Amino acid sequence: MSLLTIRNLSVTFATASGPFRAVDGVDMTIAPGEVVGIVGESGSGKSVAMLGLMGLLPDSATVTADVISFEGRDMLKMSNRERRKIIGKDIAMIFQEPIASLNPCFTAGYQIGEALKTHLGLDKKAARRRTIELLSQVGIPEPERRMTAYPHQLSGGMSQRVMIAMAIACEPKLLIADEPTTALDVTIQAQILDLLLDLQRERGMAMILITHDMGVIAETAERVVVQYAGQQVERQSVANLFETPRHPYTSALLAAMPERARGGRLPTIPGVVPGQGDRPTACLFNPRCPKADERCRTVVPPRQPAELGEALCHYPVGADPRPPEAIPPGFGPLSRQPLEGGARASTIAPEVPGDAR
Amino acid sequence: MFKFLLSRVAVLIPTFIGVSIVAFAFIRLLPGDPVQMLAGERVVSPERHAEIMHALGYDQPIIMQYLDYIWRLLHGDFGTSIVTKRGVIGEFFKLFPATLELSFCAIIFAVALGVPAGVFAAVKRGSWFDQTVMGAALVGYSMPIFWWGLLLIILFSGTWHLTPVSGRIDLLYFFPKGTGFMIYDAAVSGQKGALRSALSHLILPAIVLGTIPLAVIARQTRSAMLEVLGEDYVRTAKAKGLSRFRVVGIHALRNALIPVVTTIGLQVGVMMAGAILTETIFSWPGIGKWMVDSVFKRDYPVVQGGLLLIAMVIMFVNLVVDLLYGVINPRVRVR
């Protein structure tokens, strides 16, 4: 039985200029102990989808879904009180900005102990013992002393370790890591990622890793979901995805990886993820897609079968039914020319902290 | 810690000198002098007037008077009232408990209502509750104290006969060895109905004095909460599966209180000014009324000494707030 099943999850924000659909029909099935990556540029709704699942979005957001079930329990029908018994206990989440994510008024120890007291009903003494244990598990030296530290006395990496300790405190079955390394120094990033994977393996805990970094996905995940403008444009195993990406967007993301770049200039994807005002018709990727033709602009693309990466595309890469001369030029693997006319380039640049909301 | 205290005290010295100059100069700017005021409608001959002024030392150049005053202050002598011939400091400590009791109750009233109102308004932002609270806060903040006081007296005392019009307690009750804190005295006296009488005298003045602080605290709490509720750590608290009460009441409020406590401290100064009006309206025998009376009588030593002592109280309260700030905000804690 799957651990988590999501069908057709959508999130709509009420904004001053009308409703904005940030997440559009997301599906997801996670098996126990599995690591799934969600990848995409800033603004593709990766974080919003998971925050919606956790019920952490502001009141201006409306979350709808056909199915959200965790261990066979229907989370849509649960009261808030029942949901809170799962959230933070069986499903835990860590965030992009570890320092801002810890409450500045309480010690690290208090904030970890709070989760233990709430969900496991531990008394003060037992919570303290367990907190020390957790802190040493996440690689914090001198846990007794660090327990009494306030967040402003901790570095970014330390704060993320505390956040991880807090998240794993109640032995969750699923950990959602929302860009856990983005705000950290490069040297710390690898440490935190290793720590997460070690903990995941030791505990057999499932993990959803949200990232914009294809490299991180390659190292960690078994399956990957590529998200673009709130839609899942491709779903594949990691091995297949890196070998034969099916959606032109995935293909472009891979081409933009420094490790894969040949030649001098790193390829980029021209343009930016569409927002509320500039949402294209039919295929949402068509304005940035070198292969797009009239059909892409007028007909909503179908979901391709599993062997084509469940790509949301009329013309999946490597299975384009058009005769070669009909395919618009400039693709294959991706244009490497410098951008013309000052078009805005968006490499898969690091996300600006805080924009995930 | 000790260093911090020392630096705070060092700041007090110039403030103190400033207050003393202002208090000393302003009362002398008013037309008339203590002798004329004491004489009232009786005629005092110019010779007799000059004689008394000389005896009081008020014929000296003003700068000499000031230096003389400071010299005595440094020796702990706050002077003696021209009218009552009683020591200013003794008078102050006799009347101060009344003001303290009133102010304390007013601030309790303001905090007890203002903080929850602000929190709920922020949580239910844009709701009818939010709009009602913020509208009422604006009205409360804009309302002249004396008018509001008179309005409540007319309603509660005049029309409904629920509360007495003035004073601290019914004349029936008397506590010869009282502490000056009427509620406490009445409670420990064991006299039947004394506490009830003291409370019914206190409630209207406390509400009147607490109205402006209430409005300010409610607004400040709301805006601080709104800011804090959008913070990442509030999201973390929710992600932990904590109850709504813990998320809002512990994680968010604890942070929102930091600016609110500062506001509360500043409101104590505002209340001292408000006490002057409130005590006059309700004939509350505190230092506010004492100050007003002595200004009317041009009782120079009382005005000067009283203002200095009030300034000291306000400075002391602000010092306490600064220390409290370190307690509630670990980031500025002094080690």
The model's pLDDT over B144-169, given as tens digits with 9 standing for 90+, comes to 888 999 999 999 998 998 888 888 88
Distance in Å, alpha carbon of A222 to nearest chain B alpha carbon: 25
Averaged pLDDT, A253-276: 82
Q: How far is residue B303's CA from residue A333's CA, in Å, rounded to a whole number?
A: 88
Confidence tier at A356 by pLDDT (50, 70, 90):
very low
Residue B36 lies in a domain: no
Residue A81 burial by Cβ neighbours in a 10 Å radius (0-12, 13-18, 19+):
exposed
Q: How many Å is the Cα radius of gyration of chain B? A: 24
CB pairs under 8 A between A and B: 76
- Give residue ranges of A with CB < 8 Å to any B CB: 51, 54-56, 58, 80, 83-89, 92-93, 95, 97, 100-106, 114-115, 118-119, 150, 152, 163, 166
CB of B301 closer than 8 Å to CB of B78: yes
Which residues 6+ apart lie within 8 Å of A164 measured at CB?
A: A94, A138, A180, A192, A195, A196, A199
Residue B291 lies in a domain: no
Q: Which of A151-165, A321-335, B308-322 has the least mean pLDDT?
A: A321-335
Q: Which of A93, A97, A103 sits opposite B239 (nearest CB)?
A: A93
Residue B265 lies in a domain: yes
What total of structural domains would you count in chain B? 1
pLDDT at A2 over 70: yes
So what's the pLDDT on residue A340? Answer: 41
Q: What percent of chain A has pLDDT over 90?
A: 66
So what's the pLDDT on residue B7? Answer: 81
CB of A233 closer than 8 Å to CB of A246: no
Q: How many CB atoms lie within 10 A of CB B253?
A: 22
**Which residues from chain B sit within 8 angstroms of residue A173, using beta carbons?**
none
Q: What does the block give as tokens for A114?
A: 């709070």
Q: Which of A320-324, B84-88, B120-124 has the least mean pLDDT?
A: A320-324
Question: Where in chain A are the domains?
Answer: 4-227, 247-302+316-346
pLDDT at A351 over 80: no
Asked if this assembly's ipTM is beyond 0.90, the reply is no
CATH class of A4-227: alpha beta
So what's the pLDDT on residue A266? Answer: 82
Q: How far is residue A167's CA from residue A92's CA, in Å, rounded to a whole number?
A: 5
Q: What does the block give as tokens for B27?
A: 């009362």
What string of DSSP letters covers A251-301? HHHHHT-GGG--SSSPP-EES----STTPPSSSTTGGG-TT--HHHHHSPP
**Mean pLDDT rounded to a whole number for chain B:** 89
- Domain containing residue B250: CATH number: 1.10.3720.10
Could you list the residue range(s) of the whole structural domain that residue B153 is in? 95-280
B166 backbone φψ class: left, alpha, beta (φ>0; ψ -120 to 50): beta
Asked if B40 reaches chain A (Cβ–Cβ under 8 Å), the answer is no
- Beta strand extents in A120-196 (DSSP E only): 174-178
Segment A309-350, tens digit of pLDDT: 999 999 998 888 888 877 776 544 444 444 443 334 444 444
Distance in Å, alpha carbon of A99 to nearest chain B alpha carbon: 9
Asked if B65 reaches chain A (Cβ–Cβ under 8 Å), the answer is no
Residue B78 lies in a domain: no
Q: What percent of chain A has pLDDT over 70?
A: 91
Residue B76 lies in a domain: no
So what's the pLDDT on residue A329? Answer: 64
Which letter, b or e, does each residue of B121-140 get, where b requires 16 or more Cβ atoms within 10 Å of its Cβ? Answer: bbbeeeeeebeebbeebeeb
Inter-chain residue contact A84 with B241, CB threshold 8 Å: yes
- Beta strand extents in A168-250 (DSSP E only): 174-178, 206-211, 223-228, 231-237
Q: Which of A143-157, A309-323, B171-185 has the least mean pLDDT?
A: B171-185
Q: Which of A274-278, B75-79, B250-254, B296-300 has the least mean pLDDT?
A: A274-278
Averaged pLDDT, A239-252: 92
Asked if B237 reaches chain A (Cβ–Cβ under 8 Å), the answer is yes
**Which residues from chain B sit within 8 angstroms of residue A93, using beta carbons?**
239
Distance in Å, alpha carbon of B231 to nearest chain A alpha carbon: 7
**Mean pLDDT rounded to a whole number for chain A:** 87
Distance in Å, alpha carbon of B260 to nearest chain A alpha carbon: 15
Q: How many CB atoms lie within 10 A of CB A266?
A: 14
Distance in Å, alpha carbon of B237 to nearest chain A alpha carbon: 8
pLDDT at B172 over 50: yes
* Nearest-by-CA chain A residue for B233: A101
So what's the pLDDT on residue A348? Answer: 47
Residue B246 lies in a domain: yes
Tokens 């020591």 appear where?
B87
Inter-chain residue contact B233 with A92, CB threshold 8 Å: no
- Beta strand extents in A125-281 (DSSP E only): 174-178, 206-211, 223-228, 231-237, 269-270
* Nearest-by-CA chain B residue for A87: B241
Averaged pLDDT, B94-121: 94
So what's the pLDDT on residue A330? Answer: 52
pLDDT at B269 over 60: yes
Residue B319 lies in a domain: no
So what's the pLDDT on residue A349? Answer: 44
- Regarding predicted confidence, which is higher, A127 or A357? A127
Q: How far is residue A307's CA from residue B142's CA, in Å, rounded to a whole number?
A: 71
Which of B226, B236, B333 is the best mutation test for A, with the most CBs of A within 10 A?
A: B236
Averaged pLDDT, B169-194: 82
Residue B25 lies in a domain: no
